[in-house]
Amino acid sequence: MLSRKDAIALANCDKEELEHLCSEAAKVRDTYWPNTLTYSRKVFIPLTNMCRDTCGYCTFVKHPDSGQGNILSRDRVLSDVLKGQQQGCKEALFSLGEKPEKRYAYARDWLATLGHTSMVNYLTEVCEMVLDKSLMIPHVNAGTLTFEEVKQLKPVSGSMGMMLECTSARLMKKGQPHHACPDKAPGVRIQTLENAGKLDVPFTTGILIGIGETWEERIDSLLAINALHAQYGHIQEVIVQNFRAKAGTAMANAPEPTLDDMRLTLAAARLILHPDISLQAPPNLEQEYTAYISAGINDWGGISPLTKDFINPERAWPQIATLAGACESAGYQLQERLTVYPKYLRSAERYLATNVHAAMPASRADGLAVEQCLSPNSVTRTQGVAHA
């Protein structure tokens, strides 16, 4: 474990200290997450690209006036989900803009044609449809959620997530990326993590690095996540995501984090977070797989054979076979996992609604083997790789 003081002192560490820290982090990973690196085979469903926020790094969001704002129909969602299912996907990742109806009449009118007054209610309905009409399990990444909203979504999803991004309120000031983004206020994000904790929802969160935060603010964000996990035990994974500059955004010319910065942050995260929290880094925002593995990650997150990463559309997913090769060269097997981690499946009565648990591929034994889902550390199967 790394104390706050020691973690903050790493800000100016040299190459030798970086390598030492990475090897310490890799040791923790090898103790708690040995032999395998995992990924979730998914379909990405951008249910709406309209959002009441305008983060300075985001190209996903579209203003109604641009003529590109949309809400996906039920038919479109079901057709993508069924296509993904045919290709062996198990996760339907709903990632969407936040509460556009609170800002745009255009979004309210569109929702009204679908019979809804809020995006979260429409989301709830389509998640239920996915559970009813497919074998896929919804993972909800809809930004901030109230206690009631988390409660409403739990019976229709396996897991939920929301990137904490950063606990720095400074990033809300004028000229900063979260200026005028009510859903990026640190207090509301923390409250969402807390709501999910109280309701026993297996939860994915993480930090976005390189958006103007200081090293100390980054460490404090990781400590905040760890404190919530210590209290509720619901944080299944933490994503360390590197900011990528995109043309047409306020941060188009901002510097991107270097590979060493990413490795230092990953290693620090591995040594700060409780070891039972999975550490994830996306494989499409950087191709230095071995460098990430050496810094202590055990998971690559979602990879889709069907849909692009709509948040980083210019960044193609790696071929699963290529990623598997890189993992094998480093001494690990690439392994498919479900959106819900084994620890939470083992306590399904607490963490999953009964109908969702019944729908899990493991309980039907038609997807991943039951033993595999229940015992991540003793896995030998490579179905995900063979599929590729």
Ligand X SMILES: C[C@H]1O[C@@H](n2cnc3c(N)ncnc32)[C@H](O)[C@@H]1O
Could you tell me which of 198, 343, 206 has the C-alpha nearest to residue 273? 206
Residues 85-124 that bind ligand SF4 (CB under 6 A): 97-98
Tokens of 254: 């901002």
Tokens of 206: 């993480």
Instruction: Tell me how far apart the alpha carbons of residues 48 and 115 are, in angstroms, rounded to a whole number.
Output: 16
User: DSSP string covering 341-360, please?
Assistant: -HHHHHTHHHHS-HHHHHHS
Tokens of 232: 């509720």
Judged by CB under 6 A, the stretch of 36-44, 98-106, 128-136, 227-235 that binds ligand FO1 is 36-44
Decide: is 203 part of the binding site for ligand X (CB under 6 A): no
| Least distance (Å) between residue 166 CB and ligand MET | 12
Q: Which of 60, 94, 289, 351 binds ligand MET (CB under 6 A)?
A: 60
The interface mask with ligand X, positions 287-316, x = CB under 6 A, is ------------------------xx----
| Least distance (Å) between residue 184 CB and ligand MET | 7
Query: Would you give the DSSP letter of residue 258?
Result: P
- Report the SS3 class of residue 165: strand
Closer to ligand FO1 by Cβ: residue 204 or 298: 204
Decide: is 208 part of the binding site for ligand X (CB under 6 A): yes
Residues 48-77 that bind ligand FO1 (CB under 6 A): none
Residues 276-295 that bind ligand FO1 (CB under 6 A): 280
Q: Which of 29, 52, 99, 246 binds ligand X (CB under 6 A)?
A: 246
The count of residues interacting with ligand FO1 (CB under 6 A) is: 20
Backbone angles phi, psi at 9, to 5 degrees: -65, -15
- In terms of C-beta density within 10 A (0-12 exposed, 13-18 middle, 19 or more buried), how is residue 316 classed? exposed
State the DSSP H helix or E strand holding residue 240, giving kind and residue range, or none if neither: strand 235-242
Q: What does 277 interact with, of ligand SF4, ligand MET, ligand FO1, none (CB < 5 to 8 A by kind)?
A: none
Could you tell me which of 34, 41, 4 has the C-alpha nearest to residue 293? 34
Q: What does 234 interact with, of ligand SF4, ligand X, ligand MET, none (CB < 5 to 8 A by kind)?
A: none
Decide: is 56 part of the binding site for ligand MET (CB under 6 A): no
Which stretches within 144-258 are classed as H helix? Answer: 147-153, 186-198, 215-232
Tokens of 67: 């003529």
Residues in the chain: 388
Q: What does 149 interact with, of ligand SF4, ligand X, ligand FO1, none (CB < 5 to 8 A by kind)?
A: none
Closer to ligand FO1 by Cβ: residue 163 or 223: 163
Instruction: Tell me how far apart the alpha carbons of residues 74 and 55 are, in angstroms, rounded to a whole number.
Output: 28
Instruction: Tell me how far apart the alpha carbons of residues 41 and 177 are, in angstroms, rounded to a whole number.
Output: 31
State the DSSP H helix or E strand holding residue 343, giving kind and residue range, or none if neither: helix 342-346
Decide: is 163 part of the binding site for ligand FO1 (CB under 6 A): yes
Closer to ligand MET by Cβ: residue 143 or 202: 143
Which stretches within 134-173 are classed as H helix? Answer: 147-153
Decide: is 171 part of the binding site for ligand SF4 (CB under 6 A): no
Which stretches within 145-214 are classed as H helix? Answer: 147-153, 186-198
Q: What does 246 interact with, of ligand FO1, ligand SF4, ligand X, none (CB < 5 to 8 A by kind)?
A: ligand X
CB 267 within 8 A of CB 275: no
CB 277 within 8 A of CB 222: no
| Least distance (Å) between residue 239 CB and ligand X | 8
Decide: is 234 part of the binding site for ligand FO1 (CB under 6 A): no
Closer to ligand SF4 by Cβ: residue 98 or 101: 98
Decide: is 301 part of the binding site for ligand FO1 (CB under 6 A): yes
Summarize as ranges the residues that interact with ligand SF4 (CB under 6 A).
51, 53-55, 58, 60-61, 97-98, 143, 183
Summarize as ranges the residues that interact with ligand X (CB under 6 A).
57-58, 95, 163, 165, 208, 241, 243-244, 246, 311-312
Summarize as ranges the residues that interact with ligand MET (CB under 6 A).
51, 60, 95, 97-98, 141, 143, 162-163, 311
